[in-house]
């Protein structure tokens, strides 16, 4: 990959990955607000905002982070299958993206209920804390893996390294 394109891909990847973390923090704060508030208006607004944040910020950034991560791994010497940390990061990112996309229709359903429910029934909706809480932990683990890049090559990566040394 040409250096200029690699830098562009890295900049996009870092931006959307960190944006994904920030958007999940916002979503988590909204979930806590919906869970703890006794105000029907706050619960309604929180669920509507969680739906918008999920579909318009978190989901696009998750998919973009997954795609740019693939581009970065395939276009750099790290490779996709050479190092365990790359594989683990890819796997965790893919699982997080799939869980997010499968969970968002439930968020939309709850947001629709919040739009239509009477004020007294809204406080029973609670908030969405488990998914974003666990998601945040996973995203921070992925970030740590990508910063520290722990040693450990896959058998494929080890063979590739040995082949390069023989040449």
Q: What is the pLDDT of residues 98-124, one digit of tens each?
A: 999 999 999 999 999 999 988 767 877
How many domains, in total, are found in the chain?
1
Enter the tokens of residue 165: 């040394």
- Give the range of the structural domain holding residue 99, as residue numbers without chain letter: 3-166
CB 80 within 8 A of CB 74: yes
CB 65 within 8 A of CB 95: no
DSSP state of 16: H
How confident is the model at residue 91, as a pLDDT? Answer: 96
For residues 12 and 61, what is the distance between their CA atoms, to the nearest angstrom? 10
Give residue 76's region: left, alpha or beta (phi > 0; psi -120 to 50). beta
Q: How many CB atoms lie within 10 A of CB 32?
A: 16
Dump pLDDT digits (tens) for 121-162: 787 788 899 999 999 999 999 999 999 999 889 889 888 888
Dump pLDDT digits (tens) for 61-73: 999 999 999 999 9
Entry pTM: 0.91
Q: Tell me: pLDDT of 93 over 90.
A: yes
């Amino acid at each position: 990959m040409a250096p200029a394109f690699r830098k562009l891909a890295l900049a996009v990847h870092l931006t959307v990955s960190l944006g994904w973390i920030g958007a999940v923090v916002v979503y988590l704060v909204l979930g806590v607000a919906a869970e703890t508030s006794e105000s029907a208006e706050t619960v309604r607004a929180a669920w509507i905002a969680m739906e918008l944040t999920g579909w318009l910020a978190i989901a696009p950034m998750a998919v973009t982070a997954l795609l740019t991560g693939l581009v970065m791994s395939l276009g750099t010497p790290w490779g996709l299958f050479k190092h365990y940390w790359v594989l683990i990061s890819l796997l965790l990112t893919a699982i997080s993206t799939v869980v997010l996309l499968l969970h968002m229709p439930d968020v939309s359903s709850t947001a629709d209920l919040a739009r239509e429910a009477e004020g007294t029934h809204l406080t029973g909706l609670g908030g969405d804390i488990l998914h974003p809480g666990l998601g945040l932990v996973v995203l921070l683990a992925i970030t740590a893996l990508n910063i520290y890049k722990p040693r450990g090559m896959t058998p494929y990566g080890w063979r590739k390294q040995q082949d390069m040394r023989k040449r």
